[in-house]
A and B are shown apart, each in its own frame.
Chain A
Amino acid sequence: MEKFETFTGIAAPMPLVNIDTDMIIPKVFLKTIKRSGLGVHAFDEMRYDRDGNEIPDFVLNQPAYRKAQILIAGDNFGCGSSREHAPWALADFGIKVVVSTSFADIFFNNCFKNGMLPIVLPQEQVDILMKDAERGENARMTVDLEAQEITTSEGEVIKFEVDAFKKHCLLNGLDDIGLTLEKAAAIDSFEAKARAERPWV
């Protein structure tokens, strides 16, 4: 996994609440056996008409937001299915950070596994970022994970919380499986104990 580094980028406003995983990546694109190449299909049914033409109103089709790296979204972003194709599609599009008042748990976890940072903020602060994002491509925000800060285009600094372990993994681009395998002895001894206590499992 690539290391998550401080960057300055364009933020796209998506104020709709309950943006679900079927919206982020419709099921027709779940048939792939790869992780890559889904960016062109991110938000497919909102982004293209039936003939594959872009729908100009959709935010990521607007000239100002075509290269967005940050999404400022409505409540409960990523609700629905466990499909990791959703963060794969967003990451492949170029999204590195999603900000909302809340995320669905599975989507939230899936983001971290793919080098993406989901940030939860109170409504008032999401509103500030939403307003800033609406100003288009000149409104570039800076996300500094180390300092846990987002800086708006006008220099306003907003602090955010992040789980320490997840932050460590993102900053260092660490592979979870490798880390867990370092604890193989603990798993072995748990397994032996569980087998004795619950042999029917």
Chain B
Amino acid sequence: MTAPKTLYDKIWDAHVAHEAEDGTCLLYIDRHLVHEVTSPQAFEGLRMAGRKVRAPEKTIAVPDHNVPTTLDREKGIDNEESRIQVEALDRNAKEFGIHYYPVSDVRQGIVHIVGPEQGWTLPGMTVVCGDSHTATHGAFGALAHGIGTSEVEHVLATQTLIQKKSKNMKVEITGKLKPGVTAKDITLAVIGATGTAGGTGHVIEYCGEAIRDLSMEGRMTVCNMAIEGGARAGLIAPDETTFEYVKGRPHAPKGAQWEAALAWWKTLYTDEGAHFDKVVTLRAEDIEPVVTWGTSPEDVLPITGVVPSPEDFTGGKVEAVRRALDYMGLTPGQKLTDIEIDTVFIGSCTNGRIEDLRAAAEILKGKKIKVKRAMVVPGSGLVRAQAEEEGIAQIFQDAGFEWRLAGCSMCLAMNPDQLSEGERCAATSNRNFEGRQGYKGRTHLVSPAMAAAAALTGRLTDVREMM
């Protein structure tokens, strides 16, 4: 009998193309997603060395970081450098013969939303992208992680990645979530509990009843932020929810291939008794709607809390908290619900899917925003189209939100969607780092429902008061 394996062990073992004596492996890559920011130097490297893309049929590109999200974007990109980057991807996709969704395609959107939506991401695959939020695809039980540009070039040229196996970490969320608590609150609560380096060197498998109960959209939100907890990747074992989501997608297997795939996918779970190097367990009942108050995703508290003091911490974190409070313009002891918000951003690869927009619209329906500005940036053209069909777009617009085209937008503010100095934003994105959403901009990470609640009151708000 073979030793019990974790889900990660199984996917890893199925993809080792070569193993050296010291354990350094060539891991075969099933899907390589590409965007315009981290790929130009990689394609240039191929060109200089006279190399081709080894598996263009497994390589999918879409511009997302730089693209404008305003309705007039067909007129082109004003910023010259952004334009050059997107044009470089246009050219590289064509020259190297890879799948491509240009800005003009209705399927264009954030790479981590487009991949699953088009059925490129399937259970048991290895998926990489020059983007740390590649962890998103782990929601399908795919081993998915971010890589640097040199590794992008390596995968383009060889379809493999040089890797050593990470450790196994289990994050179990037992029981059922309370009303008003979402996947975003789970993932932030986990980071709050483990810290931003808690997962370093590990691949996390999320499990437990609260995870099982999540939709694919929710699971993607959870896995998306595995990287914020330092983990190389996050995984959720595929189940009926997964198969249901995948079935019928443009690039999902069909007919006899579907049956064969399904038979293998059903073997992708952690065996009884498999070893985890680290285990973290949270009770779903204990998780409240949360917000971040600082400049690291681990700076997270229930919305009912107060801003902490540097003295509440130890070691290097004391100075980091002092700096964060200064940057964020907050005072220890201040109630989180007293923090006034200027701007609300709903979107990103963390929370730019249809379910996220529905959750926000549910809170906004028939009401008006009190913040200075609010925008919704759907994660893809298809999410946008679906939201329009469901009447959600109208709810946002009636409430006073700007209804944008798809892209990364204000999550990292590489396009014109940016915060100004001191502007305070409740955002459904994934990073509250200094300057992330704009120079000296202040970010509070929240769920879509919490973002909607903040938009209505003009301050951080417990969404449960509105339900």
Mark A residues whose CB is within 8 Å of B.
Answer: 15-18, 20, 22-23, 26-28, 30-35, 45, 50, 74-76, 79-84, 87, 102-106, 109-110, 113-114, 163-165, 176-177, 180-181, 183-184, 186-187, 190-191, 194, 198-201
Give Cα A20–Cα B435 distance, bound, in whole angstroms.
11
Is B30 an interface position by the 8 A CB rule? Answer: yes
Q: Would you give 23 A-B contacts (Cβ < 8 Å), ordered by A?
A: A16-B319, A20-B433, A22-B431, A27-B414, A28-B414, A30-B414, A74-B316, A75-B316, A82-B132, A83-B148, A84-B148, A105-B200, A109-B148, A110-B148, A163-B24, A165-B24, A165-B162, A180-B157, A181-B158, A194-B28, A198-B124, A200-B257, A200-B260
Please tell me if the beta carbons of A199 and B150 are within 8 angstroms of each other in the complex: no
Using Cβ atoms and an 8 Å threshold, which residues of chain A touch B412? 27, 81
Give Cα A33–Cα B84 distance, bound, in whole angstroms.
8
- Least CB distance from A44 to B in Å reads 9
Q: CB within 8 A of A80: which of B132, B154, B160, B315? A: B132
Please tell me if the beta carbons of B436 and A22 are within 8 angstroms of each other in the complex: yes
Give Cα A88–Cα B311 distance, bound, in whole angstroms.
36
Using Cβ atoms and an 8 Å threshold, which residues of chain A touch B26? 180, 183, 186-187
Please tell me if the beta carbons of B160 and A84 are within 8 angstroms of each other in the complex: no
Give Cα A165–Cα B162 distance, bound, in whole angstroms.
10
Sort A-B residue pairs by CB-CB distance and give the 8 closest, nearest first. Answer: A200-B253, A31-B81, A113-B150, A190-B17, A110-B148, A17-B316, A82-B146, A84-B148
Is B153 an interface position by the 8 A CB rule? Answer: yes
Give Cα A16–Cα B257 distance, bound, in whole angstroms.
52
Using Cβ atoms and an 8 Å threshold, which residues of chain A touch B323? 16
Please tell me if the beta carbons of B160 and A82 are within 8 angstroms of each other in the complex: no
Residue of B nearest to A29 (CB): B81
Please tell me if the beta carbons of A35 and B41 are within 8 angstroms of each other in the complex: yes
Give Cα A181–Cα B22 distance, bound, in whole angstroms.
19
Please tell me if the beta carbons of A31 and B82 are within 8 angstroms of each other in the complex: yes
Please tell me if the beta carbons of B146 and A106 are within 8 angstroms of each other in the complex: yes
Using Cβ atoms and an 8 Å threshold, which residues of chain B touch A190? 16-18, 28
Residue of A nearest to B294 (CB): A18
Please tell me if the beta carbons of A187 and B81 are within 8 angstroms of each other in the complex: no
Give Cα A194–Cα B82 distance, bound, in whole angstroms.
39
Residue of B nearest to A18 (CB): B296
Please tell me if the beta carbons of B150 and A114 are within 8 angstroms of each other in the complex: yes
Q: CB within 8 A of A165: which of B20, B51, B145, B200? A: B20
Q: CB within 8 A of B201: which of A26, A105, A114? A: A105
- Least CB distance from A155 to B in Å reads 27
Using Cβ atoms and an 8 Å threshold, which residues of chain A touch B196? 18, 76, 79
- Least CB distance from B222 to A in Å reads 19
Please tell me if the beta carbons of B38 and A183 are within 8 angstroms of each other in the complex: no
Give Cα A26–Cα B437 distance, bound, in whole angstroms.
10
Give Cα A176–Cα B153 distance, bound, in whole angstroms.
10
Give Cα A87–Cα B150 distance, bound, in whole angstroms.
11
Please tell me if the beta carbons of B41 and A34 are within 8 angstroms of each other in the complex: yes
Cβ proximity bits B46-70 to A, threshold 8 Å, 1 near / 0 not: 0001010000001000000110000
Known: A76-B200, A102-B197, A104-B230. A199 touches B22 (CB 8 A): no
Using Cβ atoms and an 8 Å threshold, which residues of chain B touch A76? 196-197, 200, 230
Please tell me if the beta carbons of B200 and A176 are within 8 angstroms of each other in the complex: no
Please tell me if the beta carbons of B85 and A31 are within 8 angstroms of each other in the complex: yes
Give Cα A34–Cα B160 distance, bound, in whole angstroms.
24
Please tell me if the beta carbons of B147 and A82 are within 8 angstroms of each other in the complex: yes
Please tell me if the beta carbons of A183 and B18 are within 8 angstroms of each other in the complex: yes
Residue of B nearest to A50 (CB): B439
- Least CB distance from A154 to B in Å reads 24
- Least CB distance from A75 to B in Å reads 6
Using Cβ atoms and an 8 Å threshold, which residues of chain B touch A187? 17-18, 26, 28, 158-160
Please tell me if the beta carbons of B148 and A113 are within 8 angstroms of each other in the complex: yes
Using Cβ atoms and an 8 Å threshold, which residues of chain A touch B230? 76, 79, 104-105
Using Cβ atoms and an 8 Å threshold, which residues of chain B touch A22? 431, 433-436
Using Cβ atoms and an 8 Å threshold, which residues of chain A touch B51? 177
Please tell me if the beta carbons of B158 and A177 are within 8 angstroms of each other in the complex: yes
Give Cα A200–Cα B134 distance, bound, in whole angstroms.
21
Please tell me if the beta carbons of A79 and B414 are within 8 angstroms of each other in the complex: no
Please tell me if the beta carbons of B434 and A23 are within 8 angstroms of each other in the complex: yes
